[in-house]
Structure 1
């Protein structure tokens, strides 16, 4: 895919959604961090249902520590991998209290050192909470980038690196939100809704459908 086509795709996505953001519900950087940690192999809808009950009870690292692992499990038991996630949440909260005065650090290495926080989670927090031009590649972005041929790669990191290289600076802060939403609602996994896609004429996917 050439540069002009990529810019046109990004321009159309921006025109349709000038101020995109995550669909996870949060009121602080800490709540965002926890929500993103819980979202691994789970839907944003499912995470939001759980955090609507969890955050009113514990919305700081100290309050979460008071709940303990079993207390956190009680609130997130409807989410996949909840046992491991509850343990990671408590371990992360302990580190935030011990080393960062209960604050979420604006630092990639520090974030990635937290239990249950990988590169993708760090990218989401840095982008959404702190406005960094990072691109968190999930299954939706990986699919859209490869299917459209916008940024092809065999691994998540390869796609992230390619996107980082080909997306102009003016689009970079919002790009991963546009691609996630596009993959979640239009360029879906089984039968992409090419018939209602605003970038259908620019997409280089060969097996387009007429689905809307």
Structure 2
């Protein structure tokens, strides 16, 4: 198992010889709902799109995880796995092999398994996804949730070898915490006893 941070929430994981592109924002600017007047993100050092991608994994349907311009630039025959919200985005963009993962669902692929767990709240009723990935031959496990939100029953998945999570907090006025790092990361360290913890979301 190898993990490479590409930028922001974007990762490339190599699991059981398969290349998994995670939450890619690699092409163009980032804006939410085309509201560039409110927020616009730019890449200081744009990266090329990885080649030979076996799967795309999306934790959320928001633009910083399911970035439309980046997804539009990728081969639409690449399998996409995502939260139900992210799966909807992928289908709208023309991807033909899309699996929406409800919480608790387990998906088996060639040499690895994926379990969807509750992740970040988007509004009062919607929870997006975190994921536990297991490489079958080595038994190595990885947990990913990009905003630092998780439920107590995640501890039953431990021990987990690699945890990818924010390490600092980001709070917006009137909205509260959108990224939970300090307390959340410590909780994951205590619960999952990882060998390695890696920061994500530029945090």
The answer to whether the superposition gives a TM-score over 0.5 is no
Relative contact order, higher structure (CA 8 A, sep 6+): 1
Higher relative helix content? 1
- Taking structure 2 as the reference length, the TM-score comes to 0.26
- Taking structure 1 as the reference length, the TM-score comes to 0.25
Larger Rg, first or second structure (1 or 2) = 1
Higher relative strand content? 2
